[in-house]
């Protein structure tokens, strides 16, 4: 023991007696947080009009986003601990009585009208101070059903990257090639730091043909070789192209799969396990999550599916640093960076037309212009997660808007009106006003 003799034999004997307790404690800490199983895609339904080539077409979204296991292999993630209950607020919101402005004609309409007619909503859950303020489902969406987030997964990867950096697993200033040995050292990746991937503020100049090949190898459609996305990413000639800074695109791309690979490599675990250990197991999740994979079993950067309640819990995690400080799994600097004011007059990037000036992408999330403390995760088709850190408000929405792009201006303007209306309606009624003064 560092060259020192034991002070006494009885003391050493006491350590031996304590050893089983220490080992038992270590084993309990190492107990698996999740049950993770891998499945091939379900057999196709006989006579179905949906197949691997058309399942993500706009007209099929309501079915395909909640039944992705019919078309893709997947990992199923279940919490090994009992779920936490979402408490119910003493005053529930009546969504039909909340008024909002319709951005198409600027008329005041019911919030329910905007949700149903403008956003094609399938589910809405509002949390205030961690309590359920409103919860509603449409078109047969079950509360327990995981919903595919598609490109909405990318900010979750950035969040995992920030957590990994805080834990010392990732070295943000070092190159991607230093994190993933299998990629070799092509010049384009030697200059690509992991920090850039976490920030999600740039992209390579991909051709349409290359993006089509990436989708096919990932398994989103037919035509891949079956070797999987990592075999495609490891081709050095792919990286002999320019990387454009400050050019975030809400569409999925190979950059997300690079970050997913770096996370799995440095944690020495599959991505689903990294997600479980650092986020999912800490949510108090009620229902299983799915993570779609390619044919080789690799989790995809656009493949996460969560139930609406657990989607809302993920938003609540971003409120925690203000409530729990250093005990929060999310680094405080990450949330402060997302919510810090950018200036109300700062023009939006084209992809965020429809939101207030001052809105911009940060780590794949959207910092919202206007009042401080607001951030959103905006996926395609209206699927979104709004977090007002100052008001401790979370709005989780599942929708099936036929516009494939998250940058649809009318969709974004409608989302902002919905968030504003819910933020106003969630505030406590002043005592004098409540008494009719």
Summarised one tens digit per residue, pLDDT across range 24-79 is: 333 334 567 899 999 999 988 878 889 999 999 989 999 999 999 999 999 999 99
More confident residue, 210 or 18: 210
Cβ–Cβ < 8 Å for 68, 290: yes
Tell me: do 66 and 102 sit in the same domain: no
Q: Where a domain ends, among 306, 339, 373?
A: 306
363 conformational bin, left if phi > 0, alpha if psi -120 to 50, beta if neither:
left
Q: Nearest-CA neighbor of 227 among 213, 210, 246?
A: 213
Whether residue 54 lies inside any domain: the answer is no
Q: Nearest-CA neighbor of 59 among 336, 401, 418, 325?
A: 401
CA angle 141, 145, 148 (to 5 degrees): 95
Compute φ and ψ for 73, nearest 5 degrees.
-65, 160
Whether residue 11 lies inside any domain: the answer is no
Task: Tell me the three-class secondary structure of 77-146, residue by residue.
Answer: EEECCCCCCCCECCCCCCHHHCEEECCCCCCEEEHHHHHHHHCCEEEEEEEECCEEEEEEECCCCCCCCC
Residue 139 has pLDDT above 50, yes or no: yes
Instruction: Concatenate the DSSP letters of all residues of 18-60 into one string.
Output: HHHHHHHHHHHHTS-SEEEEEEPPPPPPTT-S--TTTTTSGGG
Tell me: do 105 and 164 sit in the same domain: no
- The helix (H) or strand (E) run that includes residue 148 is strand 147-148
Q: Which residue has the tokens 């005041």?
A: 108
Tell me: do 197 and 301 sit in the same domain: yes
Whether residue 238 lies inside any domain: the answer is yes
pLDDT of residue 250: 65
Whether residue 12 lies inside any domain: the answer is no
Q: Whole-number mean pLDDT of the chain?
A: 87
Tell me: do 301 and 157 sit in the same domain: yes
Return all residues near 178 (Cβ < 8 A) that are at least 6 apart: 171
- Report how many domains make up the chain: 2
Assigned token pair, 86: 């979402």
pLDDT of residue 300: 98
* DSSP β-bridge partners for residue 396: 125, 385
Tell me: do 244 and 318 sit in the same domain: no
* Interval 230-270: pLDDT, tens: 999 999 999 888 877 766 666 778 999 999 999 999 999 99
Measured between its terminal Cα atoms, the distance across the chain in Å is 76
Tell me: do 348 and 404 sit in the same domain: yes
pLDDT of residue 103: 95
Return all residues near 413 (Cβ < 8 A) that are at least 6 apart: 103, 354, 355
Tell me: do 361 and 231 sit in the same domain: no
pLDDT of residue 31: 67
Tell me: do 358 and 246 sit in the same domain: no
pLDDT of residue 23: 33
Return all residues near 65 (Cβ < 8 A) that are at least 6 apart: 147, 148, 150, 381, 383, 398, 400
211 lies in which domain range? 31-41+60-82+146-306
Tell me: do 76 and 182 sit in the same domain: yes
Tell me: do 129 and 195 sit in the same domain: no
CA distance 311 to 33: 19
Compute φ and ψ for 5, nearest 5 degrees.
-80, 150
Q: Where a domain ends, among 256, 283, 306?
A: 306
* Interval 88-137: pLDDT, tens: 999 999 999 999 999 999 999 999 999 999 999 999 999 999 999 999 99
Assigned token pair, 246: 């400050």
Whether residue 88 lies inside any domain: the answer is no
Q: Nearest-CA neighbor of 302 among 393, 417, 211, 176?
A: 211
Strand locations in 311-429, DSSP E?
A: 360-362, 365-367, 374-378, 384-388, 393-399
Q: Where a domain ends, among 306, 324, 348?
A: 306
Instruction: Concatenate the DSSP letters of all residues of 284-325 into one string.
Output: T--S-EEEEE-TTSPEEEEEEEE-HHHHHHHHHHHHHHHHHG
CATH code of the domain in which 318 resides? 3.40.710.10
Tell me: do 381 and 243 sit in the same domain: no
Tell me: do 324 and 394 sit in the same domain: yes
Residue 418 has pLDDT above 50, yes or no: yes
* Interval 343-394: pLDDT, tens: 667 788 888 999 999 999 999 999 999 988 999 999 999 999 999 999 999 9
pLDDT of residue 364: 94
pLDDT of residue 15: 35
Assigned token pair, 306: 């969560």
pLDDT of residue 134: 98
Percent of the chain with pLDDT over 90: 70
* DSSP β-bridge partners for residue 299: 293
């Amino acid at each position: 023991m560092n060259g020192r003799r034991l002070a006494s034999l009885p003391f050493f004997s006491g350590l031996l007696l304590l050893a089983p307790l220490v080992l038992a404690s270590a084993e309990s800490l190492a107990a698996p947080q999740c049950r993770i199983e891998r499945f091939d895609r379900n057999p196709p339904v006989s006579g179905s009009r949906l197949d691997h080539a058309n399942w993500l077409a706009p007209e099929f979204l309501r079915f395909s986003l909640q039944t992705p296991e019919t078309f893709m292999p997947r990992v199923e993630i279940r919490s090994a601990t009992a779920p936490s209950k979402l408490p119910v607020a003493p005053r529930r919101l009546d969504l039909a009585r909340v008024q909002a402005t319709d951005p198409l004609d600027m008329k005041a309409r019911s919030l329910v009208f905007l949700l149903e007619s403008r956003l094609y909503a399938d589910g809405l859950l509002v949390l205030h101070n961690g309590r359920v303020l409103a919860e509603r489902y449409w078109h047969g969406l079950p509360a327990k059903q995981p919903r595919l987030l598609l490109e909405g997964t990318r900010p979750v990867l950035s969040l995992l990257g920030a957590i990994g950096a805080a834990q010392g697993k990732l070295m943000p200033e070092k190159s991607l090639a230093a994190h993933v040995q299998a990629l070799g050292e092509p010049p384009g990746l030697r200059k690509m730091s992991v920090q850039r991937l976490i920030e999600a503020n740039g992209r390579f100049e991909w051709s349409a043909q290359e993006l089509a090949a990436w989708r096919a190898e990932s398994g989103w459609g037919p035509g891949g070789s079956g070797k999987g996305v990592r075999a495609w990413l490891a081709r050095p000639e792919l990286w002999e192209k320019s990387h454009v800074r400050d050019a975030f695109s809400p569409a999925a791309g190979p950059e997300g799969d690079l970050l997913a690979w770096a996370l799995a490599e440095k944690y020495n675990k599959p991505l689903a396990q990294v997600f479980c250990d650092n986020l999912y197991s800490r949510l108090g999740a009620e229902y299983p999550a799915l993570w779609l994979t390619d044919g080789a079993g690799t989790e995809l950067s656009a493949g996460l599916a969560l139930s609406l309640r657990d989607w809302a819990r993920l938003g609540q995690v971003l409120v925690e640093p203000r409530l729990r400080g250093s005990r929060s799994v999310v680094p405080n600097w990450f949330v402060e960076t997302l919510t810090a004011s950018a200036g109300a007059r700062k023009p939006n990037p084209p992809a965020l037309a429809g939101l207030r000036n001052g809105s911009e992408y940060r780590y794949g999330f959207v910092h919202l212009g206007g009042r401080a403390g607001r951030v959103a995760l905006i996926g395609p088709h209206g699927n979104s997660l709004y977090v007002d850190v100052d008001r401790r408000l979370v709005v989780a929405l599942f929708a099936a808007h036929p516009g494939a792009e998250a940058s649809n201006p009318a969709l974004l303007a409608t989302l902002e009106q919905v968030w504003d209306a819910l933020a106003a309606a969630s505030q406590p009624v002043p005592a004098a006003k409540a008494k009719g003064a």
